[in-house]
Structure 1
Amino acid sequence: MAQILAILIFICMFVLIVLDKIERHIVTMVCGFLVIVLVFCLSMNDLNAVFQTLNIKSIFDIEFWYSSGSIKESSIGINWSTIIFIAGMMIMVEGMGKAGFFRWLCLKIAKMVDYKIIPILITFMIMSGFLAMFIDSITVILFLVAVTIELGNLLKFNPVPIIISEIFCANLGGSATMCGDPPNIIIGTSLGYSFGDFITNTGVIALISMVFIIFYFYICFKKQLINSHVELINRDSECLMAVSGSDFSYEGEYTTNYVDPKDAILDKKRFLISFIIFFIAILLLITHAQTGLTVASIGVFVAAITLVTSKNDAIDLIKRVDYKTILFFIGLFIVVGGLEQTGILESVADLIGKVSGGNTKIMIAIIIWISAIASAFVDNIPFAATMIPIIQSLAISQGVPLSTLAWTLTMGTDIGGSATPIGASANVVGISVAEKEGYSISWKGYCMYSVPATVIVILISMIYIFIKYI
């Protein structure tokens, strides 16, 4: 009964989010409440399941803030480390925005590519993938989406296509290294793989896939970006004529004189401080495996120094945090916790081992496609953690190298999460930031482009694994 209720609540939550008639943070919080009451309390009569899913106790554990051994991410219930980290980075990004950092950067990039929209699309995809190799994809997306929206406002184009491509490339880049995505950290620390192991295996797959994905999004969005550019220019032409006193004509590229990037810096001291804070955040994230600082402690630290150095704007920065996204994550983690506590995720993972039999290629195909499909709808962190003991037992019983199954699982969970707006944390954050600035990205609008891209990368990954490891 508990399993049936957990599945029904999850399906209802998913349908309501897709329909987009009710704000999604309300949907996930209500569904999370139903999981606690109907599944844990009434069906299971297990208060321990409630406490494990709420996971509040972990916050008071020293390992939550500083890990003396290998860094471990919570995979049961609410991942407070992720929640606190996102909130901290939101405050930092808001502080940088007020300092003019994003405006300066977007103008700088626009000037470097001569204010041409298509080169911006390609440049930002490459930048997103590269940065996500070393920095948490959530941070990358918080940063790049803000810049993209600013560029869209300045250069008169719809930023949504570029935002979608950035989100996908961030997840793809994150699959290349051990520190690029939370599931990779879980897989690497659990199975004893290093940064070098990932970069020489999944890193190669990600690099090959990136070439195809850049070409794919270029074909998808070239015409759309140019058309939106022409439409916005034509709509604003009357205002431009009124200001300039002369006729306005569009000749393919909007290359009127823009403000110099240096002029975007209104307060040089504050700009320098925000840049230093950003650099410190990057440095801490890259080295957190060596320093022992968890992402939660890093998030709190950068938020604290941002608030301290912001002085009179500190309260305003706190108010500007996107609390709807925070609540969305909390509710989502609780609902997924219902699937965990009732054993549904474990049953799905166990089915893979039974169906694959002794055929290695079938086993790899099942793992990568099931992982991808499941991660598109269920948070990939708990799914990766659930799958690890399964691939360990498969490696022993079927005689398949554990590393082969590990790279298969990595690509499946990381890339599968790119397919839907709720599949990965970067997706949720990126879409939330866009909506906050007035650019709504629907499920249909997102999946129309991300699902085919996901299929392309999964096929490339599967073929590469077949050729390289079998």
Structure 2
Amino acid sequence: MLSQILAVVIFIAMFVEIVRERIPRYAVALIAGGVTLVVVFLLAMQSVPAVMEALSFHSMGELTFWYTGHTVVNEMNEGINWSTIIFISGMMIMVEGMSEAGFFDWLCLRLAKMVDYRPVPLLICFMILSAVLSMFIDSITVILFLAVASVRLAHLLKFDPIPLIIAEIFTANLGGAATMSGDPPNIIIGTALGLTFWDFLQNTGIIVLVGLLIIVPYFYFCFRKELKGGVGKAGLQGMSLDPRAAISSKLKFAISVFIFVFAVVLLTTHAMTGLTVATVGVIAAILTLATNRAPIRLLKRVDWQTVLFFIGLFVTVSGLEQTGVLEAMANGIAAITGGKLSLMVIIIIWLSAIASAFVDNIPFAATMVPVITSLSTTMGVDLNTLAWTLSMGTDIGGSATPIGASANVAGTAIAAREGHPISWGRYCKYSAPAAGIVIALSMVMILLRY
């Protein structure tokens, strides 16, 4: 009982400090993880094996961690999910290589040129681009370069970039929900439950497609008046926005595109090849570093703080799991629903959405994966259905507020840095209703389909 109380107190304290944002969240997570190891596992439980389980180094020594053959392996463990850590790290390295080669600047400018640099068509183009890229690259990275490109274009074309950034953030989270490699919560859910890229695409991907058909017109009608005007192409001087100017080296550009396409192919076929997502991440990282003239400089540019945040988070969540707190949560949901899958779907999707709107959806997803696993085991309901429910709830619910998802934090931070701060009121005015629409749509589609 003492260990459970301590685990809950540490977890709540971590959440509070993450929301307050006074200390870097990676530091908060690492401190919480360290306190969990010492106070919960060593002092309260007096269990060294619990510490080893939380650190989970042994998982990387197993063949199935890197290669599963043609069998689906459930990678859930009660500690650090090293598959998620290695995959995210590898993709971050690959994306830094693409950024250095000018790929993202070239892509944004190419699209802008196609629509003659008109703000309203740019809004539609960038929303679709944000959603599509977030299916293959994590949504945080997509927003990092899209927000910068939007501000740059807005300054030159004389329009307010905030509508573009708000719409891009939402569609990045929406598009990321379609695949396993898009939003961080999906990476956590997929690696933990042994799901594949195609599993997500065939289930959450269909919901996202329908949602995108609704959300693009929604933001168009919200922002079309605000974006009218701008100097347009005629007001530009020379070729200051020539897409070719973004490419410093054609060879480096071609290599980065090849690595990206190769990584996407490996991701989409990993269920057939038997290569795990951890292996795909390692391959992408090795190819990027091997073809870069300054690999050390490239590594320094990677956001390692996010990786450290994940590590601390997994250890803290392990405290809840190994002390039985998450099992108790699952039993509570089971008691409320009476084992009815439809009620579980309704409760999980709205609970996930509301919680993820106010606390980062990454720790919430990591917390809920063991809960839905326990629900499936004890109540005999389909685990995959609960996984799609949790995925849509956390991914879309996290879009509702500026702090709900890491992509939101990154996008609003860039806007503020460039002189365009986005207030809570303005952000939530547009994104909260959009989140409600997509969550309601997701709930209906899941209930009808499963």
Is the contact between residue 165 and residue 411 of structure 2 (CA under 8 Å) also seen in structure 1? no
Query: Could you tell me how far apart the structure 2 residues matched to 1:66 and 1:402 are?
Result: 23
Partner of 2:149: 150
Q: Under a length normalisation based on structure 1, what TM-score does the superposition of the two structures give?
A: 0.78
Q: Name stretches of at least 5 consecutive residues in structure 1 with no aligned partner.
A: 231-249
The Cα shift of 1:164 comes to 4.9
The Cα shift of 1:64 comes to 1.8
Pairing 1:70–2:52 present: no
Partner of 1:384: 369
Distance 1:279 1:187, change over 3 A: same
| 2:269 counterpart SS class | helix
Is the contact between residue 144 and residue 414 of structure 2 (CA under 8 Å) also seen in structure 1? no
The Cα shift of 1:334 comes to 1.7
Pick one of 185, 202, 207 that aligns with 2:190: 185
Pick one of 307, 312, 316 that aligns with 1:335: 316
Query: Could you tell me how far apart the structure 2 residues matched to 1:40 and 1:336 are?
Result: 12
The Cα shift of 1:316 comes to 0.8
**Aligned pairs for 1:284-295 within 5 A:** 284-295=266-277
| 2:28 counterpart SS class | helix
The Cα shift of 1:108 comes to 0.5
Task: Give the fraction of aligned pairs with identical amino acids, expressed as a percent.
Answer: 47
Pairing 1:428–2:373 present: no
Is the contact between residue 124 and residue 220 of structure 2 (CA under 8 Å) also seen in structure 1? yes
Query: Could you tell me how far apart the structure 2 residues matched to 1:102 and 1:340 are?
Result: 40
Pairing 1:26–2:27 present: yes
Query: Could you tell me how far apart the structure 1 residues matched to 2:234 and 2:33 are?
Result: 48
Partner of 1:245: none
Query: Could you tell me how far apart the structure 2 residues matched to 1:224 and 1:347 are?
Result: 49
Query: Could you tell me how far apart the structure 1 residues matched to 2:152 and 2:383 are?
Result: 49
The Cα shift of 1:355 comes to 0.9
Partner of 1:235: none
Pick one of 259, 281, 284 that aligns with 1:277: 259
Distance 1:381 1:292, change over 3 A: farther
Query: Could you tell me how far apart the structure 1 residues matched to 2:305 and 2:345 are?
Result: 38
Counterpart residue type for residue 346 of structure 1: E
* Larger displacement relative to structure 2 (117-126 or 169-178): 169-178
After superposition, give the CA deviation of every residue in 1:182-222 in whole Å (9 maximum; x if it has no partner).
Answer: 366369757xx9947x6565444333322333344445556
| 1:205 counterpart SS class | helix
Pick one of 70, 81, 84 that aligns with 2:83: 81
After superposition, give the CA deviation of every residue in 1:22-72 in whole Å (9 maximum; x if it has no partner).
Answer: 222221111211111111111122222211111122222222222222254
The Cα shift of 1:111 comes to 0.6
Is the contact between residue 178 and residue 188 of structure 1 (CA under 8 Å) also seen in structure 2? no
| 2:22 counterpart SS class | coil
Distance 1:36 1:154, change over 3 A: same
Distance 1:359 1:430, change over 3 A: closer
Query: Could you tell me how far apart the structure 1 residues matched to 2:123 and 2:77 are?
Result: 35
Partner of 1:209: 211
Partner of 2:396: 415
After superposition, give the CA deviation of every residue in 1:302-358 in whole Å (9 maximum; x if it has no partner).
Answer: 2222122112x2121111111222222222222222222222222212211111237
* Larger displacement relative to structure 2 (414-423 or 433-442): 433-442
Query: Could you tell me how far apart the structure 1 residues matched to 2:86 and 2:236 are?
Result: 43
Query: Could you tell me how far apart the structure 2 residues matched to 1:284 and 1:317 are?
Result: 23
Q: Under a length normalisation based on structure 2, what TM-score does the superposition of the two structures give?
A: 0.81
Counterpart residue type for residue 12 of structure 1: A
Query: Could you tell me how far apart the structure 2 residues matched to 1:84 and 1:372 are?
Result: 27
Counterpart residue type for residue 263 of structure 2: A
Partner of 1:121: 123
Distance 1:411 1:263, change over 3 A: closer
The Cα shift of 1:387 comes to 0.8
Query: Could you tell me how far apart the structure 2 residues matched to 1:301 and 1:402 are?
Result: 30
Pairing 1:266–2:251 present: no
Distance 1:392 1:276, change over 3 A: same
Query: Could you tell me how far apart the structure 1 residues matched to 2:438 and 2:77 are?
Result: 26
The Cα shift of 1:15 comes to 1.6
**Aligned pairs for 1:199-348 within 5 A:** 202-218=204-220, 251=231, 255-257=235-237, 258-311=240-293, 313-348=294-329
Is the contact between residue 183 and residue 410 of structure 1 (CA under 8 Å) also seen in structure 2? no
Counterpart residue type for residue 383 of structure 1: M
Query: What's the C-alpha RMSD, in Å, of the aligned pairs?
Result: 3.7
Pairing 1:355–2:336 present: yes
Distance 1:27 1:184, change over 3 A: closer
* Larger displacement relative to structure 2 (82-91 or 144-153): 144-153
Partner of 1:3: 4
Distance 1:356 1:372, change over 3 A: same
Query: Could you tell me how far apart the structure 2 residues matched to 1:99 and 1:407 are?
Result: 36
* Larger displacement relative to structure 2 (353-362 or 58-67): 353-362
| 1:115 counterpart SS class | coil
Query: Could you tell me how far apart the structure 2 residues matched to 1:436 and 1:216 are?
Result: 24
Query: Could you tell me how far apart the structure 2 residues matched to 1:91 and 1:433 are?
Result: 20
Is the contact between residue 148 and residue 414 of structure 2 (CA under 8 Å) also seen in structure 1? no
Number of equivalent positions? 433
Query: Could you tell me how far apart the structure 2 residues matched to 1:97 and 1:57 are?
Result: 34
Q: Name stretches of at least 5 consecutive residues in structure 2 with no aligned partner.
A: none
Counterpart residue type for residue 6 of structure 2: L
| 2:4 counterpart SS class | helix
Query: Could you tell me how far apart the structure 1 residues matched to 2:339 and 2:83 are?
Result: 39
| 1:355 counterpart SS class | helix
